């Protein structure tokens, strides 16, 4: 595996957002528990464990390569990190198995890591030639190639449109079907070439690499990213102790929309409008810590271009 320069996104801001609930728990119970739902290369977890000697982190990742790197990154504090190879919608079950009733913070840094994008062979990047895999967890599930070879035309068009907003989905999919019938679709390079040829020349001149949208759509389908996130946000809210916080960084609008929708619902009273006080059990159980969303600073984007599309949201549990 190559050496990687990894810059965790919005590192200080995320730690600052989690700090009040961590510090309160440490004062009250002597220890705080945080779930890092996307351990990745261990950047945020390392900073949390270094700053707070009384914090214990439960770190989830579905990628065994990431886990191996994180284990090394966090070596000085490894006794306070429990690593879990699992999809993050399993948070409640995993915590129950660990005998943990509730946690003081949950951090989601969504999407793929710089390692997954840079590692030749994983198939996430259209700029590198690799087998069409794209699985974050290479130990299970359908690869991108299996999806391209087995889904019918309608399903492929729907995926490219819904997850990639791809205007030329039918043309791309017709070419995919022709290529798969000739058994000639094996690599990211072949797919990127095929996409380029499917898109009319004038449309190719704007909007960056024409393969970007199809690769994003396939990645979302391969890893069931949106369906998992739909389950994971309410799951994370359900394990949060009073005053606990959830902090989420999303890098594409489909994910951010899901987060925004759950957070808004959780922070809204269900008392009908116009009543002077909340009806019993209808007051919102969460409050926004950030109104709306935050972006990375210009300075950070210059240093780490991946931060450009990041949207940061955070809420706090205010009632049991």
Q: Which residues pair with 240 in a beta bridge?
A: 103
Q: Which residues pair with 33 in a beta bridge?
A: 56
Identify the H or E element spanning 189.
helix 188-198
Q: Site residues for ligand SAM, window 127-186 (CB under 6 A)? A: 136
| Contact status: 88 vs ligand SAM (CB under 6 A) | yes
Q: Site residues for ligand SAM, window 253-272 (CB under 6 A)? A: none
Q: Site residues for ligand SAM, window 208-237 (CB under 6 A)? A: 228
Provide CB contacts within 8 A for 40, sequence distance 6+. Answer: 61, 66, 70, 109, 113, 115
Scored b (16 or more CB within 10 A) or e, 223-257 reads bebbeebbebbebbbebbbebbbbbbbbbbebbbe
Q: Nearest approach, Cβ of 163 to ligand SAM (angstroms)?
A: 15
| Contact status: 60 vs ligand SAM (CB under 6 A) | yes
Q: Which one of 23-31, 56-64, 206-214, 292-300 is the stretch in contact with ligand SAM (CB under 6 A)?
A: 56-64
Nearer Cβ to ligand SAM (47/267): 47
Give dist(CA 302, CA 93) in Å, integer.
40
| Contact status: 35 vs ligand SAM (CB under 6 A) | no
Rounded alpha-carbon distances, angstroms, from residue 163 to 89, 159, 215: 20, 6, 10
Residue from 22, 104, 105, 109 touching ligand SAM (CB under 6 A): that is 109
Give dist(CA 126, CA 275) in Å, integer.
55
| Contact status: 8 vs ligand SAM (CB under 6 A) | yes
| Contact status: 252 vs ligand SAM (CB under 6 A) | no
| Contact status: 59 vs ligand SAM (CB under 6 A) | no
| Contact status: 122 vs ligand SAM (CB under 6 A) | no
Listed residue (115, 93, 114, 135) closest to 224, CA to CA: 135
Backbone φ and ψ of 194, nearest 5°: -60, -40
Give the binding-site size for ligand SAM (rule: CB under 6 A). Answer: 21
Residue from 32, 33, 38, 103 touching ligand SAM (CB under 6 A): that is 38
Backbone φ and ψ of 133, nearest 5°: -105, -75
| Contact status: 87 vs ligand SAM (CB under 6 A) | yes
Nearer Cβ to ligand SAM (135/168): 135
Residue from 10, 34, 44, 133 touching ligand SAM (CB under 6 A): that is 44
The Cβ of residue 113 has, within 10 Å, a number of other Cβ atoms equal to 26
Q: Nearest approach, Cβ of 87 to ligand SAM (angstroms)?
A: 4
Q: Nearest approach, Cβ of 207 to ligand SAM (angstroms)?
A: 24
- Helix/strand/coil for 230: helix
Q: List residues binding ligand SAM (CB under 6 A).
A: 6, 8, 38, 40-44, 60-63, 66, 87-88, 109, 111-113, 136, 228
């Amino acid at each position: 595996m190559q050496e990687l320069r990894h810059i965790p996104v919005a590192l200080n801001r995320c730690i600052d957002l989690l700090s009040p609930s961590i510090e309160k728990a440490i004062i009250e119970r002597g220890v705080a528990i945080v779930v890092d739902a996307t351990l990745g290369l261990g950047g945020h977890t390392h900073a949390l464990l270094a700053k707070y000697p009384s914090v214990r982190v439960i770190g989830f990742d579905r990628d065994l390569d990431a886990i191996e790197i994180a284990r090394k990154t966090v070596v000085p504090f490894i006794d306070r990190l429990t690593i879990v190879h699992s999809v993050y919608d399993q948070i409640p079950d995993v915590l129950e198995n660990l005998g943990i009733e509730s946690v003081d913070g949950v951090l989601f840094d969504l999407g793929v890591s710089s390692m997954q994008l840079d590692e030749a062979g994983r198939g996430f990047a259209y700029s590198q030639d690799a087998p069409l895999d794209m699985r974050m967890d290479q130990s299970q599930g359908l690869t991108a190639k299996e999806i391209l070879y087995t889904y019918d035309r309608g399903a492929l068009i729907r995926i490219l449109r819904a997850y990639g907003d791809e205007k030329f989905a039918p043309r791309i999919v017709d070419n995919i079907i022709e290529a798969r019938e000739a058994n000639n679709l094996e690599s990211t390079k072949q797919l990127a070439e095929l996409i380029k040829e499917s898109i009319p020349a004038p449309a190719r001149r704007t909007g960056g690499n024409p393969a970007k949208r199809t690769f994003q759509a396939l990645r979302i389908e391969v890893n069931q990213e949106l369906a998992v996130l739909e389950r994971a946000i309410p799951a994370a809210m359900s394990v949060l102790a009073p005053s606990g916080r959830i902090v989420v960084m999303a890098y594409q609008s489909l994910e951010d929309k899901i987060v925004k929708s759950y957070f808004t619902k959780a922070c809204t009273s269900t008392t009908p409008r116009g009543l002077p006080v909340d009806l019993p059990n209808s007051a919102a159980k969460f409050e926004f810590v950030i109104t709306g969303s935050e972006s990375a600073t210009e300075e950070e984007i210059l240093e780490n271009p991946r931060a450009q599309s990041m949207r940061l949201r955070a809420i706090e549990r205010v009632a049991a």
